[in-house]
Structure 1
Amino acid sequence: MSNTSPAGTVDRAFRTALYDTGDASLDSAASLLAADPATDPEVGRRGREFVAGAWRRGWQPADVLRVVRRDLDDIHLRLAADLIRDQAADDGPRGPRWAAQLDDLPAGAPAGAARVDRFARATAVLELYRLLLRLPALEPLDDPEPTGAAPGEPDGPGRGPRTRALARIRALLAKAEATGYPEEAEALSAKAQELMARHSVDEALLAARAPAPGTPGACRLGVEPPYEQAKAVLLDAVAAANHCRAVWNEEFGFSTVVGFETDLAAVELLYTSLLVQAETAMTRAEAAQRAGGRKRTKTFRQSFLAAYAHRVGSRLRAAAEVPAGEDRELLPVLASREVAVTDHLARMFPRTVSTRLRGVSDEAGWTEGIRAADRAAVDRRPPLP
């Protein structure tokens, strides 16, 4: 009687569990792997292959973790983070955005995780591999290669003004998130948007004068429950105000934002900050509603966020507006960049559909959302020198 090799045992377990979603097949396969510690290296190698397959289908580390966090448990998230880290050692360089996602991976299994029995761990591994195998193809994203110092590194030639501008924007948004006064938060956000607009214009002019101007790229930002529709509207508004376009993928909880790299960074910064501020303002508005005898409702929050996104969008566009005739060189540059972004979007997403925002039926929520976004005036940015 011949012994089955570790690879043969893994093959048998995977045939039993990965292509059958039943619990019985999962238990049988986990029992096979748990009974044979010699299979562990092969199971890990196969997992790294599954991760690499997800990358070939257009997924990125943050995308995978988002789905694992939504559909599975903490043990699966840690296993996925470990797999991604291990696979990265065999991967080629993929650009600064990818590197940042690797840096943000959650911690792996803690020391105490060794006490988890082999059967429970094997079950979690197989559940994670089932998910990885079933990830569909996504639109591939081109992560630009770094052209100078990465974020947080010392400035290189020509990087000083850009680094200082982003530092000022981050500082303004951090103050906006920290303040307890809504009017101050919104005024700080408006100032940040003005700086973003000016920063984008300066980058556009520099690119137009350079021998080889850059091309648009894309990134994905999480848009997750609850109230994900309203959040997608807010992200769309922030993207539009910063010369970008956003396409929402409701199924997998993200929006793909298309634009030039400087504008993409601005969108990510401002959208994240506005979500924090919207939550703060909404909590305060709900407290006032409860003090008046009304219970908190889902429709209140949905309507609040929808109104907030709608009004903030109009104010961001006003803050980013470039007056006609202000600079003869500027307007053609921005127009050509807008065409480039639109063309890139059309190539990535040849077919898109519009969706109607649901659940916006609470008048008090809508009114409070408008008020929260209306408290501060948004001034036009100063003229170009």
Structure 2
Amino acid sequence: MSTSGTVDRAFRSALYDSGDDTLDTGASLLAADPSADAELARRGEEFVASAWKRGWQPADVVRVVRRELDETHVRLVGSLIRAQARREAAEGRARGARWDAQVAEVPTGDAGARGDRFSYATTVLELYRLLLRLPALEPLDQAAGAAGSAGSPSPGGRERKPESRMLGRIRALLAKAEATGFPEEAEALSAKAQELMARHSIDEALLAAKAVVVEGPEAVRIGVDAPYEQAKAVLLDAVASANHCRAVWNEAFGFSTVVGFAADLEAVELLYTSLLVQASGAMTKAEAAQRAGGRKRTKAFRQAFLAAYAHRVGMRLAAVAAEAAAGEELLPVLASREVAVGERVARLFPETTTTRLRGVRDAAGWDEGVRAAERAQVRGRRPLS
């Protein structure tokens, strides 16, 4: 039998039925035919390419594989993603800097450390079964509706500009703020980072106002990982709103799609990550105090803590945004950007629903979360002028 025939028989048995018996049958066929390995890998790259056509991106695939399977499958899909990226590069196909960055960050590992052939074949078929059944997602690489940039957009979306020196400084400041054990130093570093974020966004808006050709809003997916993902989604939504962006949460696949202009999306990613780090540190300290007082660490405490933290930080961010005043020069461009973001969201998500935080019952956790949110650094943008 040809190698293609072996793979076809294994796939017919294992991929289109959810039973364990059919999976074992397919794995046995592949394990008995080492000559089918190359064809099996080629088919895996095809499954990855098919996921791209259905709107998935490298980080999305890694996230869902980690969510549904285990690290062995994650390493395997990482090797397939890299192989598919090399194939596209050899064919002269480019998907853009954001896509390339996702490929560079996929987990690496020895995909050849397979153990016995039957176990490896089982892992492959479990992964392929998941990839085959991924539904279509909103295609983030569609044109945003505005005129294109001065350069040619890549198939994976507009080419991102190289990270500016200012963004590098912002990242460094937030990293130091998250690492220091001194609250006063963390406050000073975070405040400076927020000032630079505001200045960066203002500079981008001013350039856009004066430019003949203006790029439209972009869309990115940001992971919202378990546990307590609902509270984290609320926090991300608050950060997005405060930075002139919109966030739509996909609970089933563990991410939110954030729509906005490039500089604002950078601010959202940076601030959301920093606030999560601050929340984690504050929660660890609060739990230590609870244990010192004779109370056991509980899931209910952590759930309430993060829910309160997200709620209170959202209120603070909204207040900061409401206080910001825009100069006459920027009011028209900010208004047009808001309309463009709203239109892009409507095209991507013609139907959305709202959700409320569930399962918040621990009063002590809520109180500690509010106190942590009051201490969190959320200094907003300077008044626009």
Whether the TM-score (by the shorter chain) exceeds 0.5 is yes
Aligned residues: 367
Aligned twin of 1:371: 371
Specify the alignment match of 2:316 in structure 1: 315
Amino acid in the other structure paired with 1:136: P
Tell me the residue number matched to 1:126.
125
> What is the deviation of 1:294?
1.3
Cα separation, 1, equivalents of 2:257 and 2:318 = 20
Alignment-derived partner of residue 17 in structure 1: 14
Q: Does 1:80 align with 2:81?
A: no
Alignment of 1:192-211 (within 5 A): 192-211=193-212
2:146 aligns with none
Report the CA distance between 1:359 and its aligned residue. Answer: 1.6
Residue 289 of structure 2 is matched in structure 1 by 288
2:283–2:302 CA contact under 8 A, matched in 1 = yes
Q: Which runs of 5+ in 2 are unaligned?
A: 142-155
Judged with a 3 Å threshold, the aligned counterparts in structure 2 of structure 1 residues 383 and 128 are, in CA distance, closer, same or farther, namely closer
Q: CA deviation at 1:272?
A: 1.2
Which residue in 2 is equivalent to 1:212?
213
Q: Classify the secondary structure of the residue corresponding to 2:87.
A: coil
The aligned counterpart of 2:151 is none
The one-letter amino acid of 1:344's match is R
1:293-323 CA-to-partner distances (Å, cap 9, x unmatched) read 1111212111111111122223334445564
Deviations 1:17-66 (A, max 9, x none): 10011111111111111111111111111111111110000001111111
Are residues 287 and 5 of structure 1, via their aligned partners in 2, closer, same or farther at CA, if it must alter by over 3 Å? same
Q: Which residue of 2 aligns with 1:268?
A: 269
Q: How does 1:166-315 map to 2 (within 5 A)?
A: 166-182=167-183, 184-186=185-187, 188-315=189-316
Rounded Cα–Cα distance in structure 2 between residues aligned with 1:117 and 1:204: 57
* Structure 2 CA distance for aligned equivalents of residues 357 and 320 of structure 1: 23
Q: Residues 255-308 of structure 1, C-alpha deviation per residue, up to 9 Å, x if partnerless?
A: 000101111111111111211110000010111111111111212111111111
The TM-score, its normalising length taken from structure 2, stands at: 0.90
RMSD: 1.9
Say if 1:187 and 1:377, in contact at 8 Å, map to a contact too.
Answer: no
Aligned counterpart, 2:347: 347
Taking the aligned partners of 2:64 and 2:278, their CA distance within structure 1 comes to 25
Is this contact kept in 2: 1:231–1:305, CA < 8 A?
yes
Cα separation, 2, equivalents of 1:132 and 1:247: 23
AA at the equivalent of 1:334:
L
Question: How many angstroms apart in 2 are the aligned matches of 1:372 and 1:119?
Answer: 51
Is 1:54–2:51 an aligned residue pair?
A: yes
Partners in 2 of 1:364 and 1:318 — Cα distance?
25
* Contact 1:193 1:319 (C-alpha < 8 Å) held by counterparts: no
1:320-378 per-position Cα deviation (integer Å, ceiling 9, x unaligned): 55644x51111221111111111110110010000110122222111111111213686
SS in 1 for 2:258: strand
> After the TM superposition, which residues 21-36 of structure 1 pair with which residues of structure 2 at under 5 Å, given as runs?
21-36=18-33
Structure 1 residues 361 and 191 mapped into 2: Cα distance closer, same or farther (>3 Å)?
A: farther
Note the C-alpha offset of 1:384: 5.4
Query: Corresponding residue for 1:100?
Result: 101
1:101-180 pair list within 5 angstroms: 101-109=102-110, 113=113, 116-142=115-141, 143-146=156-159, 148=161, 150-151=162-163, 163-180=164-181
Conserved? CA contact 1:241–1:320, under 8 Å: yes
Post-superposition CA distance 1:232-277 (Å, at most 9, x none):
0111111111111101111100000010111111111111121111
CA deviations on 1:155-211 (whole Å, 9 max, x unpaired) are xxxxxxxx1221221122112210223454355434423332232122111112111
Q: Percent identity?
A: 71
Amino acid in structure 1 at the alignment position of 2:158? E
Letter in 1 for 2:196: L
Cα distance per residue 1:56-81 (max 9 Å; x no partner)? 00001111111111111221111100
Deviates more, 1:332-341 or 1:186-195: 186-195
Change in 2 beyond 3 A, CA 1:323/1:61: closer
| Distance in 2 between residues matched to 1:183 and 1:199, nearest whole Å | 24
Q: 1:71 aligns with which of 33, 49, 68?
A: 68
What is the alpha-carbon distance in structure 2 between the residues aligned to residue 170 and residue 267 of structure 1? 12
Paired AA for residue 121 in structure 1? Y
Structure 1 runs not aligned, ≥5 long = 152-162
